Amino acid sequence: MNKRLFFLLPFFAFLNPGAWAQIQNSQSGIAQPDKLPRRAFLGIRMEAVTADVQRVMNLPAVKGVLIQNVIPASTAEAAGIQRGDVLLELDGREVNSPDEAVRMVGAYRAGQTLQYKLIRNGKTLLEKTTIQGLPREKYPDLEVTYGAVKAGDALLRTIVTKPKKSSGKLPALLFIQGIGCYSMDTPFDTARTELQLINRLVREGWVVMRVDKSGIGDSQGAPCDQIDFNTELEGYVQVFAALQKREDVDAENCFIFGHSMGGVMAPLVAKEHRVKGIVAYGTIGVNFMEYFANSRRTIAASYEMTPIEADDYVKEQCDCAAMLLSARLSRTDAVKLNPECGGVYDALLLRSEQFWRQLHEMNIPANWQHFEGKVLAAWGATDFISTKAEHQMIAATVNQLHPGNGIFLEIPNSNHGMHVASTFQEARTNPGDFNPEVAKQVGNWLKQQTGAQVDFALKEKKENVAEVLWMEGVENAYPRASADGSKILFQSNRSGKWHLYLMNSDGSGLQQLTAGDHNNNFPDWSADGGKVAFVSDRDGNEEVYVMNLDGNGLARLTYNPARDIHPYFSPDGKTLLFNSSRDNSESFEIYQMDLQGKNQKRLTNTAGVETCARFSPDSKKILYLKGFSDGSDDIFVMNADGSNPVNLTNTPQMEGWPAWSPDGSKIIFSSRRNGNYCLYEMNADGSNVRQISYAEPPRYDARAGYAGTGDRILFNRQKGSTIGIFMLDASYKP
């Protein structure tokens, strides 16, 4: 059994010590002018140099990192760093992994000078540049303001989000995050569950403030992992004071959302300020050692331990914690007594020993008993880091002195991080995206407390979408419309194997085109409607085939032991683009061939994964998806011969399945940029991006393409093992 099981908020336990700075001439609890310089934005996607990279690029040694892409407005762009460069050193220190480069740059701030050494085209260059700051969050409908608040010796970065079109004083919320030393300032990761919750509430009329802890992000002060509980608490006390003093905030309607350890901090902040209500989600409701034992039980359940294993695990964990907290032994002395405690302390000591000892000494129910405001104790039903009983106890404790003020709420299918998950095991191993039910329930409760004349019930985004085909438990994927939009070609696993089907655009007139005990998938349709290209494993390996629409004239085009997938016809129907791993077993590149399988030509040769390549309607460009080693994807366009690749999306989010409009002026694609895979449309040059579908988890939208003249969009809407086919009005604007 893995003894290093995570603690309170494991997926946020990222350390970023930052830099110590003495701040003078400012007062605690008052919002300061934005004196905080932005942390460095290196702005490159990179991968480690391997022996293969060294050989292909003829490098002198296996050293440095290979630059895959340069993000606009970054330090790398300002420095002139280029795709294909190999970065060797930063300020004289060797760089041999992407993580190492990120850690090095994390110590810098905007405006500082950085010296770097790299190899370009066989030549070694030594240059200097000025550090560019991390971009700020931007939304078309929200106003995001960066500021700072003085708290003791620290100057803390604050971020306030409010509706752009708002007037007067609005209700306000301070979001207090969990225990980890991680930043709440992540402009390239707006899919995070905390930001999904915050932005949904803001769009319903709230001002929401968040803050980075001491030494994290832009915040200046002692490193987060070295400060104690009371020092961190003082930061939230001062930040809440600054929130209440804002001119656009209704000071009588100020609330706190405390997530995880934030739920312990919240009633303590309320001792110092007038707080109307608190939402505590996934928190602690009893003394720390009792919580520790309770949560070890639920963690054991998430690992599906037997009762005997669970009992041994809980005892060992609690014995180790007691040596550190009750006996007040140092880590070194405790591990001498029990070497197994090392794994427990690896999680516990992500924060200082003093932090945990102050928490250990605290009477947590007493903090709630004296709070006079309203309390929503919310618990996700698959949260194994906290327990249901303790949230029920928080509500009961509040009601003991203030009857009716405390409410317990269980939110189905929601884990500790506010992700969709149906079981403890799924919550631990494979949680989904943000659970919108959290925002809905919290928003409704907040509405009840404010008495404001604003409808805070979360509104569903409007979309003009029609269901064509939905069969529970069946996947009907990769829909392709005929040129006139009257027919739909697709693949389905309804028979237990993947086969190709044809139907009318309203879902009627179903015909099965392939049969047999093998799989046929990734279909594409020639513009004249006469040919179908697809992938089949009928000969034991995934190869590209073509056939007539009636199933006759079957021809195999590729003969390679590697995977050959995603065939797409050229507009004239004479050639196919496809993907193959034949020249790189760990990646896919783009190839072209004619309909006899001849004249096969490789068009890309990079370290990334290039898939889903499609010719533009005039055959001059190729649109494709490029995957990076960090798990992100971007949509690129290049010339038809593979030259001049241009990144159209340039985000750290996951994009997918791009397709041209019939006239080549628009591109449809799927993206997670707002937290869940939905459909977006943009101009062919990457400008004017707009969201056009609004699937809510656990559903998401993907594999889209234009139908007919481009006035309709055919796509998949998926929920677990069910994939349906839907049609959307492309001209509709919600």
Q: What is the pLDDT of residue 152?
A: 94
Radius of gyration of the chain (CA): 28
Binned at pLDDT 50, 70 and 90, residue 606 comes out as: confident
Helices (H), 175-330: 193-202, 229-244, 262-269, 288-302, 307-325
pLDDT of residue 615: 97
pLDDT in tens, 517-555: 999 999 999 999 999 999 999 999 999 999 999 889 999
Per the rule left: phi > 0, alpha: psi between -120 and 50, beta: everything else, 121 is left
CA distance 54 to 65: 11
Q: Do residues 209 and 340 share a domain?
A: no
In this structure, how many other beta carbons lie within 10 angstroms of the beta carbon of residue 163?
16
Q: What is the pTM of this model?
A: 0.73
- Report whether 613 contacts 624 (CB < 8 A): yes
In a domain, residue 1? The reply is: no
Domain-embedded: residue 455: no
Asked whether residue 270 falls in the same domain as residue 304, the answer is no
**What is the rounded average pLDDT of the residues 171-182?**
96
Nearest alpha-carbon partner for 572 in 520, 530, 523: 530
Strand-pair category, 601-602 with 589-594: antiparallel
Among residues 303, 334, 358, the one where a domain terminates is 358
Boundary (domain end) residue, out of 306, 335, 358: 358
CA–CA gap between residue 726 and residue 488 (Å, rounded): 11
* Tens-place pLDDT, residues 496-506: 999 999 999 99
Tell me, what's the pLDDT at 343?
85
Q: What is the average per-residue pLDDT within 98-106?
A: 86
Q: Is residue 454 part of a domain?
A: no
- Cα separation of 227 and 229, whole Å? 7
Structure tokens at 381: 């039903």
Give 5's contacts (C-beta < 8 A, 6+ positions apart): 299, 303, 343, 347
Taking each helix axis as running N to C, give the angle between helix 353-360 and helix 307-325, from 0 to 180 degrees, rounded to the nearest 10: 100
* Same-domain status, 217 and 103: no
Q: What is the mean pLDDT of the chain?
A: 89
pLDDT tens track for 272-304: 999 999 999 999 999 999 999 999 999 999 999
In a domain, 387, yes or no: yes
Residue 217 counted as domain residue? yes
Domain range enclosing 676:
465-729
Q: 328 — alpha (psi -120 to 50), left (phi > 0) or beta?
A: left
Q: Which two tokens stand for residue 354?
A: 């003093």
User: Does residue 35 form part of some domain?
Assistant: no
pLDDT tens, position by position, 191-224: 899 999 999 999 999 999 999 999 999 999 999 9
For position 589, what pLDDT does the model report?
94
Do 726 and 719 contact (CB within 8 A), yes or no?
no
Give the domain CATH number at 50: 2.30.42.10
- Choose the final residue of a domain: 68, 98, 130: 130
627: pLDDT confidence band, cut at 50, 70 and 90? confident
Q: What is residue 32's predicted lDDT score, i.e. its pLDDT?
A: 58
pLDDT score, position 631: 73
Is pLDDT at 10 greater than 70 in this prediction? no
Q: What local confidence, expressed as pLDDT, does residue 595 receive?
A: 95
Q: What is the torsional sign of CA 386, 392, 396, 402? A: positive
**pLDDT value of residue 454:** 39
Residues 265 and 383 in one domain: yes
Do 294 and 264 sit in the same domain of this protein? no
CB atoms within 10 A of CB 372: 12
pLDDT at 731: 76
Share of the chain above pLDDT 70, in %: 93
Whether residue 582 is contained in a domain is answered as: yes
For residue 342, is it within any domain?
yes
pLDDT class of 3 with cuts at 50, 70, 90: very low
| 331 and 261 belong to one structural domain | no
153 plus 196 within the same structural domain: yes
Q: pLDDT band at residue 732, thresholds of 50, 70 and 90?
A: low
Calpha distance 665→645 (Å, rounded): 18
Structural domains in the chain (count): 4
Q: How far is CA 313 from CA 2, 284, 459, in A?
A: 10, 20, 45
Residue 460 has a pLDDT of 45
Q: How far apart are CA 506 and CA 562, in angstroms?
A: 38
**Are residues 342 and 199 part of one domain?**
no
**What is residue 424's predicted lDDT score, i.e. its pLDDT?**
95
- Asked if residue 227 and residue 196 are part of one domain, the reply reads yes
Q: Are 171 and 105 part of one and the same domain?
A: no
Give the model's pLDDT for residue 734. Answer: 54
DSSP string for 571-611: TTSSEEEEEE-TT-TTS-EEEEEETTS-S-EE----SSEEE
Give the chain's end-to-end CA distance (angstroms, integer).
Answer: 51
Query: Tokens standing for 177?
Result: 């995050």
Using the 8-state DSSP alphabet, how is residue 334 labeled? Answer: H
**Residue 44 φ/ψ region, left for φ over 0, alpha for ψ in the -120 to 50 degree band, beta for the rest:** beta
Which region, left, alpha or beta, applies to residue 276 given φ > 0 means left and ψ of -120 to 50 means alpha? alpha
For residue 471, pLDDT beyond 90: yes
pLDDT bucket at 461, cuts 50 / 70 / 90: low
Q: Which two three-digit tokens encode residue 322?
A: 């007691």
Evaluate whether 163 touches 144 at the Cβ level (below 8 Å). Answer: no
Rounded average pLDDT over 558-567: 94
pLDDT, greater one: 40 or 458: 40
For residue 170, give the CATH number of its domain: 3.40.50.1820
List of residues 6+ apart from 318 with CB closer than 8 A:
289, 292, 293, 296
One domain for residues 583 and 639:
yes
- Are 117 and 144 part of one and the same domain? no
State the pLDDT confidence band at 56, using cuts at 50, 70 and 90: confident
User: Which range is least confidently modeled, 335-349, 425-439, 568-582, 654-668?
Assistant: 335-349
Q: Are strands 374-380 and 406-411 parallel, antiparallel or unpaired?
A: parallel
**What is the percent of the chain where pLDDT is above 90?**
73
Lookup: tokens for 21:
């700075």
pLDDT value at position 30? 57
Which range, of 38-47, 308-317, 457-466, 592-601, averages the lowest pLDDT?
457-466
475, pLDDT greater than 70: yes
Residue 419 near residue 431, CB atoms below 8 Å: yes
Predicted confidence at residue 24, as pLDDT, reads 26
